[in-house]
Structure formats: C-alpha cells, structure tokens
Structure 1
C-alpha cells in the first residue's frame, strides 16, 4: 500500500521533528544537562515517534476500510492490521 501524499508529508515532518529532538537529547547529554531534563526530552521524542506510528496505522486502517479488496490484494488482513496496531501500544 502506498500512503496518500498528505499522510506521507505529515509523517515526514513528524520524523524530522523527532530527529531534531533526538539530536537535542544527544547534545544535552554531551553538555552534561540535568538527568531530569534529559529524560523529559527523551520522553517527548518517544511520544512523537509513537504518534507518528499511530498516524501511519490510521491511514492504513482507513485504506483497508475504504478499499477492502485492494487491501486484501496487498496481503493485509484484519489480523495483520490488528497485530501492527498492537505493536504500537
């Protein structure tokens, strides 16, 4: 399945933002920042990545609901979607 352009654009923006946040965490560690601040920033990166995964799952589920025959042709079953969704919990 190919994601719609608006989903791809949104996900790419989210990933670039998370990448910048992660670089910030690395910089904080290099600079000896307070542990509490580093962990808080790391949690923000983790949440951003989680939301990105959910965005992709949402788009995939919409595709499967709107075009079940095409989704089946792509090899995606309801069980596959459920398994992918549960990996993001």
Structure 2
C-alpha cells in the first residue's frame, strides 16, 4: 500500500506471491530434469505466469494509488498522466 508520503510499499502479500512463484519455478526445473510430460510442465508454467501477472497488477495498482495520492498532496502533477502510465505498464506486461 501507499505510505503516508505517497511512496510505494511492497507489502508481504506481493513478496509471498513471488516467493510462491519462485518455488513453482524450482519445481518446474525439477520436473524438466525428471523428463516429466510436457503437458504437466506447461500447466505449471501457466500457473506461474498467472501468479506473476497478478503481482504485476498489484504493483501497478498500488503504484498508481501512491502517485495519485502524491499528486493530490503536491497539487503539481497531472493525475491523468499517472493513470496513462499505469495503463501502459499493464499493457506492456501482457
């Protein structure tokens, strides 16, 4: 969540999701070493991608919230430009 001064805080939920993805990737590498069926590997890769996509969404959403909060406090920045930047980040992640 955004801190009081508008900076981004990467919370425990985000970090835990990434740690879970990291564990899944290690599991996928082990599956590859064990020559598991490609369908199982693709299923796990898809799960990792979905998990990472969710983290990207959280990071962008919280960054947007922090930027809008800061813009409102400073009254110097264009909130619309932050929203556009967030949309571009989400589109780039696809």
Q: Which runs of 5+ in 2 are unaligned?
A: 1-5
Q: 1:47 aligns with which of 40, 45, 50?
A: 50
CA RMSD in angstroms comes to 2.4
Q: 1:60 aligns with which of 63, 68, 76?
A: 63
Task: Give the structure with the higher percent helix.
Answer: 1
Q: Distance in 2 between matches of 1:32 and 1:88?
A: 30
TM-score (structure 1 length as normaliser): 0.78
Which residue pairs with 2:39 in the alignment? 36
Deviations 1:15-66 (A, max 9, x none): 1000000001000000011111010001101111111101101111222333
Q: Which runs of 5+ in 1 are unaligned?
A: none
- Whether 1:88 aligns to 2:93 is yes
Q: Distance in 2 between matches of 1:2 and 1:45?
A: 28
Verify the 8 A CA contact 1:54 1:88 in the aligned structure 2: no
Aligned length: 85
* Superposed structure 1 runs of 4+ greater than 3 Å apart: 69-72, 76-79
SS at match of 2:8: coil
Which residue pairs with 2:8 in the alignment? 3
Verify the 8 A CA contact 1:25 1:41 in the aligned structure 2: yes
